[in-house]
Amino acid sequence: MSDVLGASFRDPSGFVFRHEERIHRQVNQSYADDFEVLLSSGLYDGLVQKGWLVSHAEVEGPLSNAAPEIHYKTLLPDCVPFISHPYEWCFSQLKDAALLTLRIARAALAAGMTLKDASAYNVQFAAGRPVFIDTLSFERYREGEPWVAYRQFCQHFLAPLALMAMRDVRLSQLLRVHLDGVPLDLACSLLPARAWLRGGLLMHLRIHAGFQQRHAASGGARRARPLSRQAFDNLLVSLQAVVRKLDWVPEDSEWAAYTEGDSYEADALAHKQRLVEGHLAEVAPRAVWDLGANVGVYSRLAASADADVISFDADPACVEQNYRLVRESREPRILPLLLDLTNPSPAIGWANSERETIASRARPDLVLALALVHHLAISNNVPLREIAAALADLADELVIEFVPKSDAKVETLLATRRDVFSEYTAEGFEAAFVERYDILARDSIEGSERTLYRMRAKVG
Protein backbone atom coordinates (compact mmCIF):
# COMPACT_ATOMS: atom_id res chain seq x y z
CA MET A 1 0.00 0.00 0.00
CA SER A 2 1.34 3.40 -0.92
CA ASP A 3 1.15 6.20 1.61
CA VAL A 4 2.31 8.79 -0.92
CA LEU A 5 -0.03 11.72 -1.44
CA GLY A 6 -1.33 12.24 -4.96
CA ALA A 7 -0.06 15.79 -5.32
CA SER A 8 3.66 15.17 -5.09
CA PHE A 9 4.68 12.85 -7.89
CA ARG A 10 6.18 15.41 -10.30
CA ASP A 11 9.38 16.49 -8.60
CA PRO A 12 11.97 13.68 -8.37
CA SER A 13 13.66 15.51 -5.45
CA GLY A 14 11.30 13.85 -3.00
CA PHE A 15 7.66 13.30 -2.14
CA VAL A 16 5.03 13.88 0.49
CA PHE A 17 3.44 11.02 2.39
CA ARG A 18 1.25 10.38 5.39
CA HIS A 19 2.69 8.57 8.38
CA GLU A 20 0.78 8.18 11.63
CA GLU A 21 -1.70 10.87 10.61
CA ARG A 22 1.04 13.42 9.97
CA ILE A 23 2.28 14.72 6.65
CA HIS A 24 5.96 13.93 6.10
CA ARG A 25 8.33 14.69 3.26
CA GLN A 26 11.01 12.35 1.98
CA VAL A 27 14.10 14.00 0.53
CA ASN A 28 15.67 11.77 -2.12
CA GLN A 29 19.40 11.27 -2.56
CA SER A 30 19.32 13.10 -5.90
CA TYR A 31 18.38 16.29 -4.02
CA ALA A 32 20.94 15.89 -1.20
CA ASP A 33 23.41 18.53 -2.44
CA ASP A 34 20.78 21.20 -3.02
CA PHE A 35 19.16 20.43 0.31
CA GLU A 36 22.45 20.84 2.16
CA VAL A 37 23.09 24.19 0.45
CA LEU A 38 19.60 25.35 1.44
CA LEU A 39 20.54 24.69 5.07
CA SER A 40 24.20 25.72 5.05
CA SER A 41 23.64 28.98 3.13
CA GLY A 42 21.38 30.20 5.92
CA LEU A 43 18.57 30.60 3.41
CA TYR A 44 16.33 28.09 5.18
CA ASP A 45 16.79 29.77 8.58
CA GLY A 46 16.24 33.23 7.13
CA LEU A 47 13.04 32.28 5.34
CA VAL A 48 11.63 30.38 8.31
CA GLN A 49 12.48 33.24 10.65
CA LYS A 50 10.49 35.64 8.45
CA GLY A 51 7.57 33.21 8.39
CA TRP A 52 7.84 32.81 4.62
CA LEU A 53 8.76 29.12 4.53
CA VAL A 54 7.24 26.30 6.55
CA SER A 55 9.66 24.98 9.14
CA HIS A 56 10.42 21.31 9.55
CA ALA A 57 12.06 18.87 11.91
CA GLU A 58 14.27 16.06 10.63
CA VAL A 59 13.10 12.65 11.77
CA GLU A 60 14.75 9.25 11.66
CA GLY A 61 14.78 6.84 8.80
CA PRO A 62 12.77 6.23 5.65
CA LEU A 63 9.25 6.13 7.04
CA SER A 64 7.60 5.67 3.68
CA ASN A 65 7.52 2.27 2.06
CA ALA A 66 7.42 3.91 -1.36
CA ALA A 67 11.10 4.48 -2.16
CA PRO A 68 13.38 3.68 0.79
CA GLU A 69 16.30 2.84 -1.51
CA ILE A 70 16.67 6.46 -2.66
CA HIS A 71 15.94 7.97 0.76
CA TYR A 72 18.21 10.76 1.94
CA LYS A 73 16.27 12.42 4.77
CA THR A 74 12.79 12.50 6.21
CA LEU A 75 11.23 15.81 7.19
CA LEU A 76 8.28 16.48 9.43
CA PRO A 77 6.99 19.89 8.30
CA ASP A 78 5.13 22.21 10.60
CA CYS A 79 1.43 21.53 10.27
CA VAL A 80 -0.66 23.52 7.76
CA PRO A 81 -4.19 23.21 9.13
CA PHE A 82 -6.03 23.07 5.81
CA ILE A 83 -4.82 22.63 2.24
CA SER A 84 -6.58 25.07 -0.07
CA HIS A 85 -6.22 25.44 -3.82
CA PRO A 86 -5.69 28.58 -5.92
CA TYR A 87 -9.16 28.43 -7.46
CA GLU A 88 -10.54 28.69 -3.92
CA TRP A 89 -8.66 31.92 -3.23
CA CYS A 90 -9.88 35.45 -3.68
CA PHE A 91 -7.91 37.98 -5.70
CA SER A 92 -5.81 39.25 -2.80
CA GLN A 93 -4.96 35.77 -1.61
CA LEU A 94 -3.58 34.89 -5.06
CA LYS A 95 -1.76 38.22 -5.18
CA ASP A 96 -0.22 37.74 -1.72
CA ALA A 97 0.84 34.22 -2.71
CA ALA A 98 2.46 35.63 -5.88
CA LEU A 99 4.34 38.31 -3.97
CA LEU A 100 5.53 35.78 -1.40
CA THR A 101 6.85 33.54 -4.19
CA LEU A 102 8.77 36.48 -5.70
CA ARG A 103 10.19 37.61 -2.36
CA ILE A 104 11.41 34.07 -1.76
CA ALA A 105 12.86 33.87 -5.29
CA ARG A 106 14.84 37.07 -4.67
CA ALA A 107 16.02 35.98 -1.25
CA ALA A 108 17.07 32.66 -2.75
CA LEU A 109 19.04 34.40 -5.51
CA ALA A 110 20.82 36.56 -2.97
CA ALA A 111 21.81 33.35 -1.17
CA GLY A 112 23.02 31.67 -4.36
CA MET A 113 19.94 29.56 -4.97
CA THR A 114 16.93 29.73 -7.24
CA LEU A 115 13.34 28.48 -7.25
CA LYS A 116 13.10 25.58 -9.68
CA ASP A 117 9.32 25.80 -9.71
CA ALA A 118 6.82 28.54 -8.97
CA SER A 119 3.56 26.67 -8.66
CA ALA A 120 0.72 28.38 -6.82
CA TYR A 121 0.13 25.03 -5.09
CA ASN A 122 3.44 25.58 -3.26
CA VAL A 123 1.76 28.31 -1.20
CA GLN A 124 -0.78 27.70 1.55
CA PHE A 125 -2.52 29.94 4.04
CA ALA A 126 -1.80 29.37 7.70
CA ALA A 127 -2.46 31.73 10.59
CA GLY A 128 -3.95 34.30 8.25
CA ARG A 129 -1.00 34.63 5.90
CA PRO A 130 0.60 32.87 2.97
CA VAL A 131 3.46 30.46 3.61
CA PHE A 132 5.63 28.55 1.14
CA ILE A 133 5.37 24.83 1.82
CA ASP A 134 7.68 23.18 -0.71
CA THR A 135 11.06 22.86 0.98
CA LEU A 136 12.42 21.03 -2.07
CA SER A 137 11.81 23.88 -4.54
CA PHE A 138 15.28 25.35 -4.08
CA GLU A 139 18.30 24.51 -6.18
CA ARG A 140 21.77 25.95 -6.53
CA TYR A 141 21.91 28.93 -8.85
CA ARG A 142 24.17 28.49 -11.85
CA GLU A 143 25.69 31.68 -13.20
CA GLY A 144 24.06 32.82 -16.42
CA GLU A 145 21.04 30.55 -16.22
CA PRO A 146 17.60 32.08 -16.87
CA TRP A 147 14.70 31.35 -14.49
CA VAL A 148 13.44 27.84 -15.12
CA ALA A 149 10.13 28.63 -13.40
CA TYR A 150 9.42 31.90 -15.25
CA ARG A 151 6.76 30.34 -17.47
CA GLN A 152 5.13 28.62 -14.49
CA PHE A 153 5.04 31.82 -12.46
CA CYS A 154 3.37 33.71 -15.31
CA GLN A 155 0.80 30.93 -15.83
CA HIS A 156 0.02 30.28 -12.17
CA PHE A 157 0.03 33.86 -10.92
CA LEU A 158 0.45 36.71 -13.35
CA ALA A 159 -2.04 35.59 -16.01
CA PRO A 160 -4.92 34.81 -13.62
CA LEU A 161 -4.27 37.96 -11.56
CA ALA A 162 -4.32 40.13 -14.68
CA LEU A 163 -7.50 38.45 -15.89
CA MET A 164 -9.19 38.88 -12.51
CA ALA A 165 -8.15 42.52 -12.17
CA MET A 166 -8.69 43.67 -15.74
CA ARG A 167 -11.38 41.41 -17.18
CA ASP A 168 -13.49 39.57 -14.61
CA VAL A 169 -12.70 38.28 -11.14
CA ARG A 170 -14.57 35.05 -11.86
CA LEU A 171 -11.84 34.04 -14.30
CA SER A 172 -9.91 32.65 -11.32
CA GLN A 173 -11.95 29.55 -12.05
CA LEU A 174 -9.79 28.94 -15.13
CA LEU A 175 -7.28 27.54 -12.63
CA ARG A 176 -9.71 24.74 -11.88
CA VAL A 177 -9.47 23.61 -15.49
CA HIS A 178 -5.83 24.44 -16.14
CA LEU A 179 -3.87 22.73 -13.39
CA ASP A 180 -0.54 24.14 -14.55
CA GLY A 181 -1.88 27.66 -14.74
CA VAL A 182 -3.63 29.68 -17.43
CA PRO A 183 -1.92 29.22 -20.81
CA LEU A 184 -0.48 32.58 -21.83
CA ASP A 185 -2.04 32.61 -25.29
CA LEU A 186 -5.44 32.07 -23.68
CA ALA A 187 -4.80 34.88 -21.19
CA CYS A 188 -3.76 37.20 -24.02
CA SER A 189 -6.88 36.47 -26.02
CA LEU A 190 -9.09 37.25 -23.01
CA LEU A 191 -7.36 40.37 -21.68
CA PRO A 192 -8.66 43.78 -22.77
CA ALA A 193 -6.50 45.95 -25.04
CA ARG A 194 -5.82 48.39 -22.20
CA ALA A 195 -3.79 45.64 -20.49
CA TRP A 196 -1.08 46.19 -23.12
CA LEU A 197 -0.67 49.80 -22.07
CA ARG A 198 1.10 48.43 -19.01
CA GLY A 199 4.67 47.64 -19.98
CA GLY A 200 4.93 44.81 -17.47
CA LEU A 201 1.90 42.93 -18.74
CA LEU A 202 2.96 43.55 -22.33
CA MET A 203 6.35 41.97 -21.68
CA HIS A 204 5.56 39.17 -19.28
CA LEU A 205 2.37 38.03 -20.95
CA ARG A 206 2.04 39.18 -24.55
CA ILE A 207 5.63 39.21 -25.79
CA HIS A 208 6.26 36.14 -23.66
CA ALA A 209 3.32 34.33 -25.32
CA GLY A 210 4.61 35.40 -28.74
CA PHE A 211 8.03 33.89 -28.02
CA GLN A 212 6.38 30.70 -26.83
CA GLN A 213 4.51 30.36 -30.06
CA ARG A 214 7.53 31.14 -32.22
CA HIS A 215 9.90 28.79 -30.42
CA ALA A 216 7.48 26.01 -29.56
CA ALA A 217 9.65 23.28 -31.02
CA SER A 218 13.09 24.88 -31.16
CA GLY A 219 14.84 23.37 -28.17
CA GLY A 220 15.86 26.84 -27.09
CA ALA A 221 15.58 25.91 -23.45
CA ARG A 222 18.86 24.09 -23.86
CA ARG A 223 20.68 26.96 -25.51
CA ALA A 224 19.85 30.55 -24.72
CA ARG A 225 21.67 33.78 -24.10
CA PRO A 226 23.03 33.77 -20.57
CA LEU A 227 21.20 35.95 -18.10
CA SER A 228 23.39 37.80 -15.61
CA ARG A 229 22.54 37.57 -11.96
CA GLN A 230 21.59 41.24 -11.93
CA ALA A 231 19.33 40.70 -14.95
CA PHE A 232 17.72 37.73 -13.19
CA ASP A 233 17.00 39.94 -10.19
CA ASN A 234 15.66 42.69 -12.46
CA LEU A 235 13.26 40.16 -13.94
CA LEU A 236 11.99 39.34 -10.44
CA VAL A 237 11.76 43.02 -9.46
CA SER A 238 9.80 43.72 -12.61
CA LEU A 239 7.38 40.88 -11.80
CA GLN A 240 7.00 42.28 -8.29
CA ALA A 241 6.14 45.69 -9.70
CA VAL A 242 3.59 44.41 -12.19
CA VAL A 243 1.90 42.15 -9.62
CA ARG A 244 1.76 44.94 -7.02
CA LYS A 245 0.10 47.25 -9.50
CA LEU A 246 -2.73 44.81 -10.19
CA ASP A 247 -5.68 45.38 -7.91
CA TRP A 248 -9.31 44.44 -7.67
CA VAL A 249 -11.80 46.35 -5.57
CA PRO A 250 -15.14 44.60 -5.17
CA GLU A 251 -18.16 46.51 -6.36
CA ASP A 252 -21.43 46.09 -4.51
CA SER A 253 -22.30 42.61 -5.60
CA GLU A 254 -25.50 40.86 -4.78
CA TRP A 255 -24.65 39.81 -1.25
CA ALA A 256 -21.43 41.63 -0.42
CA ALA A 257 -23.40 44.80 0.24
CA TYR A 258 -25.79 42.72 2.28
CA THR A 259 -25.06 43.14 5.90
CA GLU A 260 -27.84 41.61 7.86
CA GLY A 261 -29.12 45.02 8.75
CA ASP A 262 -31.63 45.00 5.94
CA SER A 263 -33.15 41.60 6.69
CA TYR A 264 -32.91 41.77 10.44
CA GLU A 265 -33.92 44.24 13.07
CA ALA A 266 -31.04 45.11 15.34
CA ASP A 267 -32.43 43.22 18.32
CA ALA A 268 -33.17 40.14 16.20
CA LEU A 269 -29.58 40.20 15.03
CA ALA A 270 -28.34 40.52 18.60
CA HIS A 271 -30.53 37.59 19.64
CA LYS A 272 -29.25 35.42 16.77
CA GLN A 273 -25.66 36.23 17.72
CA ARG A 274 -26.32 35.37 21.37
CA LEU A 275 -27.88 32.05 20.37
CA VAL A 276 -24.95 31.18 18.09
CA GLU A 277 -22.48 32.12 20.84
CA GLY A 278 -24.35 29.87 23.25
CA HIS A 279 -24.16 26.91 20.88
CA LEU A 280 -20.47 27.53 20.23
CA ALA A 281 -19.78 27.63 23.96
CA GLU A 282 -21.66 24.39 24.47
CA VAL A 283 -20.06 22.43 21.63
CA ALA A 284 -16.59 24.01 22.07
CA PRO A 285 -15.52 22.97 18.56
CA ARG A 286 -11.87 23.11 17.56
CA ALA A 287 -12.64 23.32 13.84
CA VAL A 288 -15.64 25.09 12.35
CA TRP A 289 -16.75 25.45 8.74
CA ASP A 290 -18.95 28.48 8.22
CA LEU A 291 -20.89 27.79 5.02
CA GLY A 292 -22.28 30.83 3.24
CA ALA A 293 -20.23 32.97 5.59
CA ASN A 294 -20.71 36.25 3.73
CA VAL A 295 -17.97 38.51 5.10
CA GLY A 296 -17.51 36.32 8.16
CA VAL A 297 -19.48 37.88 11.03
CA TYR A 298 -20.29 34.49 12.57
CA SER A 299 -16.89 33.09 11.65
CA ARG A 300 -15.48 35.72 13.98
CA LEU A 301 -17.79 34.61 16.79
CA ALA A 302 -16.49 31.07 16.31
CA ALA A 303 -12.88 32.28 16.19
CA SER A 304 -13.32 34.17 19.44
CA ALA A 305 -14.69 30.92 20.90
CA ASP A 306 -11.23 29.44 20.16
CA ALA A 307 -12.10 27.57 16.98
CA ASP A 308 -10.13 27.46 13.73
CA VAL A 309 -12.65 28.57 11.17
CA ILE A 310 -12.90 28.18 7.42
CA SER A 311 -15.20 30.83 6.10
CA PHE A 312 -16.70 29.71 2.78
CA ASP A 313 -18.68 31.85 0.40
CA ALA A 314 -19.56 31.65 -3.28
CA ASP A 315 -19.23 35.38 -3.82
CA PRO A 316 -15.69 36.53 -4.69
CA ALA A 317 -16.45 39.97 -3.25
CA CYS A 318 -17.40 38.51 0.15
CA VAL A 319 -14.28 36.35 0.27
CA GLU A 320 -12.15 39.33 -0.76
CA GLN A 321 -13.60 41.55 1.98
CA ASN A 322 -13.30 38.77 4.53
CA TYR A 323 -9.64 38.12 3.63
CA ARG A 324 -8.81 41.83 3.80
CA LEU A 325 -10.31 41.90 7.31
CA VAL A 326 -8.27 38.85 8.30
CA ARG A 327 -5.12 40.47 6.94
CA GLU A 328 -5.70 43.90 8.44
CA SER A 329 -6.79 42.74 11.90
CA ARG A 330 -4.35 39.79 11.94
CA GLU A 331 -6.93 37.13 12.64
CA PRO A 332 -4.93 33.90 12.54
CA ARG A 333 -7.91 31.64 13.15
CA ILE A 334 -9.96 32.50 10.05
CA LEU A 335 -9.36 31.22 6.53
CA PRO A 336 -11.74 32.72 3.96
CA LEU A 337 -12.21 30.59 0.85
CA LEU A 338 -14.27 30.78 -2.31
CA LEU A 339 -16.65 27.86 -2.63
CA ASP A 340 -19.91 27.33 -4.47
CA LEU A 341 -21.70 24.75 -2.35
CA THR A 342 -23.89 23.80 -5.28
CA ASN A 343 -20.75 22.74 -7.15
CA PRO A 344 -17.96 22.24 -4.60
CA SER A 345 -14.30 21.69 -5.53
CA PRO A 346 -14.01 18.27 -7.13
CA ALA A 347 -11.08 15.86 -7.18
CA ILE A 348 -8.96 16.84 -10.16
CA GLY A 349 -5.64 16.21 -11.82
CA TRP A 350 -3.94 12.94 -12.65
CA ALA A 351 -6.16 9.95 -11.80
CA ASN A 352 -8.45 12.43 -10.08
CA SER A 353 -6.19 12.22 -7.07
CA GLU A 354 -3.83 15.18 -7.39
CA ARG A 355 -6.18 17.71 -5.80
CA GLU A 356 -8.74 16.38 -3.37
CA THR A 357 -12.40 17.33 -3.04
CA ILE A 358 -13.07 19.94 -0.44
CA ALA A 359 -14.87 17.49 1.88
CA SER A 360 -12.09 14.90 1.85
CA ARG A 361 -9.41 17.37 2.99
CA ALA A 362 -10.60 17.78 6.57
CA ARG A 363 -13.50 17.09 8.88
CA PRO A 364 -14.70 20.00 11.03
CA ASP A 365 -16.33 19.49 14.42
CA LEU A 366 -19.16 21.86 13.65
CA VAL A 367 -20.82 23.36 10.59
CA LEU A 368 -22.52 26.74 10.68
CA ALA A 369 -25.24 27.07 8.04
CA LEU A 370 -26.77 30.45 8.74
CA ALA A 371 -29.06 32.16 6.23
CA LEU A 372 -28.06 29.47 3.78
CA VAL A 373 -30.76 26.85 3.44
CA HIS A 374 -33.07 28.98 1.28
CA HIS A 375 -30.29 29.53 -1.23
CA LEU A 376 -29.76 25.79 -1.58
CA ALA A 377 -33.39 24.70 -1.39
CA ILE A 378 -35.01 27.43 -3.44
CA SER A 379 -32.38 29.10 -5.64
CA ASN A 380 -30.83 25.74 -6.52
CA ASN A 381 -33.87 23.43 -6.06
CA VAL A 382 -32.02 20.98 -3.78
CA PRO A 383 -34.52 18.86 -1.80
CA LEU A 384 -34.26 19.47 1.96
CA ARG A 385 -33.51 15.79 2.54
CA GLU A 386 -30.48 16.04 0.23
CA ILE A 387 -29.24 19.11 2.08
CA ALA A 388 -29.52 17.27 5.40
CA ALA A 389 -27.59 14.30 4.01
CA ALA A 390 -24.80 16.46 2.58
CA LEU A 391 -24.37 18.45 5.79
CA ALA A 392 -24.45 15.32 7.96
CA ASP A 393 -21.59 13.88 5.89
CA LEU A 394 -19.49 16.98 6.60
CA ALA A 395 -19.61 17.14 10.39
CA ASP A 396 -21.43 15.78 13.43
CA GLU A 397 -22.53 19.08 14.91
CA LEU A 398 -24.69 21.54 13.03
CA VAL A 399 -26.04 24.98 13.79
CA ILE A 400 -28.56 25.83 11.08
CA GLU A 401 -31.02 28.59 10.47
CA PHE A 402 -34.37 27.99 8.80
CA VAL A 403 -35.65 30.93 6.79
CA PRO A 404 -39.39 30.54 6.02
CA LYS A 405 -41.21 31.55 2.85
CA SER A 406 -42.72 34.53 4.62
CA ASP A 407 -39.25 36.02 5.07
CA ALA A 408 -38.49 38.95 2.78
CA LYS A 409 -35.34 37.30 1.43
CA VAL A 410 -37.23 34.16 0.40
CA GLU A 411 -40.07 36.22 -1.04
CA THR A 412 -37.50 37.88 -3.29
CA LEU A 413 -36.18 34.51 -4.43
CA LEU A 414 -39.71 33.32 -5.21
CA ALA A 415 -40.96 36.56 -6.77
CA THR A 416 -40.14 35.58 -10.33
CA ARG A 417 -40.80 31.86 -10.29
CA ARG A 418 -43.45 29.27 -9.60
CA ASP A 419 -43.50 28.06 -6.01
CA VAL A 420 -42.78 24.35 -6.44
CA PHE A 421 -41.52 24.07 -2.87
CA SER A 422 -44.51 22.68 -1.01
CA GLU A 423 -42.18 20.92 1.48
CA TYR A 424 -40.39 24.15 2.31
CA THR A 425 -42.02 24.79 5.69
CA ALA A 426 -40.69 24.56 9.23
CA GLU A 427 -42.39 21.15 9.55
CA GLY A 428 -41.03 19.92 6.24
CA PHE A 429 -37.55 21.16 7.21
CA GLU A 430 -37.60 19.30 10.52
CA ALA A 431 -39.03 16.15 8.93
CA ALA A 432 -36.19 16.13 6.40
CA PHE A 433 -33.47 16.79 8.96
CA VAL A 434 -34.58 14.32 11.67
CA GLU A 435 -33.80 11.53 9.22
CA ARG A 436 -30.13 12.35 9.69
CA TYR A 437 -30.00 14.45 12.86
CA ASP A 438 -31.24 14.67 16.43
CA ILE A 439 -32.55 18.16 17.08
CA LEU A 440 -30.96 19.37 20.31
CA ALA A 441 -32.19 22.96 20.38
CA ARG A 442 -34.80 24.98 18.54
CA ASP A 443 -35.10 28.74 19.09
CA SER A 444 -37.24 31.30 17.34
CA ILE A 445 -35.13 34.33 16.59
CA GLU A 446 -36.86 37.22 18.30
CA GLY A 447 -38.23 39.87 15.99
CA SER A 448 -38.01 37.64 12.91
CA GLU A 449 -39.77 34.58 11.54
CA ARG A 450 -36.58 32.58 11.37
CA THR A 451 -35.62 29.63 13.57
CA LEU A 452 -32.18 28.58 14.74
CA TYR A 453 -31.48 24.91 15.37
CA ARG A 454 -28.66 22.97 16.90
CA MET A 455 -28.50 19.39 15.70
CA ARG A 456 -26.23 16.38 16.06
CA ALA A 457 -25.87 13.80 13.31
CA LYS A 458 -27.28 10.38 14.10
CA VAL A 459 -24.70 7.64 14.36
CA GLY A 460 -24.59 5.10 11.54
Partner 1 sequence: MQEFQLAYIDPGSGSFLVQALVATAAGLAVAGRRYWSQIRAFFGRSAASEDDESASPPQ
Q: Which stretch binds partner 1 (CB under 8 A): 4-12, 334-342, 372-380, 420-428?
A: 4-12
- Out of 41, 55, 212, 263, which residue is the one contacting partner 1 (CB under 8 A)? 212
Strand 287-291 vs strand 366-369: parallel, antiparallel, or unpaired? Answer: parallel
CB nearer to partner 1: pick between 68 and 199: 199
Number of residues in the chain = 460
Query: How many angstroms separate the CA atoms of 103 and 97, rounded?
Result: 10
Query: How many angstroms separate the CA atoms of 303 and 301, rounded?
Result: 5
CB nearer to partner 1: pick between 19 and 198: 198
194 binds partner 1 (CB under 8 A): no
We find the least distance from the C-beta atom of residue 245 to partner 1, in angstroms, to be 12
Query: How many angstroms separate the CA atoms of 91 and 248, rounded?
Result: 7
We find the least distance from the C-beta atom of residue 46 to partner 1, in angstroms, to be 7
CB nearer to partner 1: pick between 227 and 314: 227
107 binds partner 1 (CB under 8 A): yes
Element (H, E) at 442: strand 437-444
Nearest CA among 140, 148, 144 for reference residue 113 = 140
210 binds partner 1 (CB under 8 A): yes
417 binds partner 1 (CB under 8 A): no
Q: Which stretch binds partner 1 (CB under 8 A): 87-95, 188-196, 206-214, 289-297?
A: 206-214
Give how far Cα 249 sits from Cα of 130, 169, 323, 339, 449, Å: 20, 10, 13, 19, 35
The residue type at 187: A
233 binds partner 1 (CB under 8 A): yes
- Residue 240-279 contact track with partner 1, rule CB under 8 A, x = bound: xx--x-----------------------------------
39 binds partner 1 (CB under 8 A): no
Nearest CA among 108, 109, 137 for reference residue 121 = 137
50 binds partner 1 (CB under 8 A): yes
- Out of 40, 57, 194, 218, which residue is the one contacting partner 1 (CB under 8 A)? 218
Q: What is the CA radius of gyration of the chain?
A: 24
154 binds partner 1 (CB under 8 A): yes
- Out of 32, 59, 170, 226, which residue is the one contacting partner 1 (CB under 8 A)? 226
Query: How many angstroms separate the CA atoms of 167 and 171, rounded?
Result: 8
Count other Cβ atoms within 10 Å, centred on residue 127.
16
352 binds partner 1 (CB under 8 A): no
CB nearer to partner 1: pick between 96 and 290: 96
159 binds partner 1 (CB under 8 A): no
198 binds partner 1 (CB under 8 A): no
Phi, psi (deg, nearest 5) at residue 451: -130, 140
Query: How many angstroms separate the CA atoms of 310 and 341, rounded?
Result: 14
Strand partners, 226: none
We find the least distance from the C-beta atom of residue 179 to partner 1, in angstroms, to be 13
We find the least distance from the C-beta atom of residue 385 to partner 1, in angstroms, to be 47
Give how far Cα 372 sits from Cα of 48, 301, 303, 340, 416, Å: 40, 17, 20, 12, 20
Contact 211, 380 (CB under 8 A): no
The residue type at 422: S
CB nearer to partner 1: pick between 110 and 439: 110
71 binds partner 1 (CB under 8 A): no
12 binds partner 1 (CB under 8 A): yes
- Out of 37, 75, 83, 109, which residue is the one contacting partner 1 (CB under 8 A)? 109
The residue type at 151: R
Q: Residue 274, exposed/middle/buried by CB under 10 A (0-12, 13-18, 19+)?
A: middle
- Out of 56, 116, 355, 450, which residue is the one contacting partner 1 (CB under 8 A)? 116
Q: Total residues at the site for partner 1 (CB under 8 A)?
A: 63
- Out of 56, 85, 204, 436, which residue is the one contacting partner 1 (CB under 8 A)? 204
- Out of 20, 189, 222, 330, which residue is the one contacting partner 1 (CB under 8 A)? 222
- Out of 234, 329, 342, 381, which residue is the one contacting partner 1 (CB under 8 A)? 234
Q: What is the footprint of partner 1 within residues 132-151 (CB under 8 A)?
A: 142, 144-151
Contact 127, 335 (CB under 8 A): no
CB nearer to partner 1: pick between 74 and 155: 155
Residues whose CB falls within 8 Å of the CB of residue 367, separated by 6 or more in sequence, listed in order: 288, 289, 290, 291, 391, 394, 395, 397, 398, 399, 400
We find the least distance from the C-beta atom of residue 218 to partner 1, in angstroms, to be 5
The residue type at 189: S
207 binds partner 1 (CB under 8 A): yes
Q: List contacts with partner 1 (CB under 8 A).
A: 10-13, 46, 50, 102-103, 106-107, 109-111, 116-117, 142, 144-152, 154, 199-200, 203-204, 207-227, 229-235, 237-238, 240-241, 244
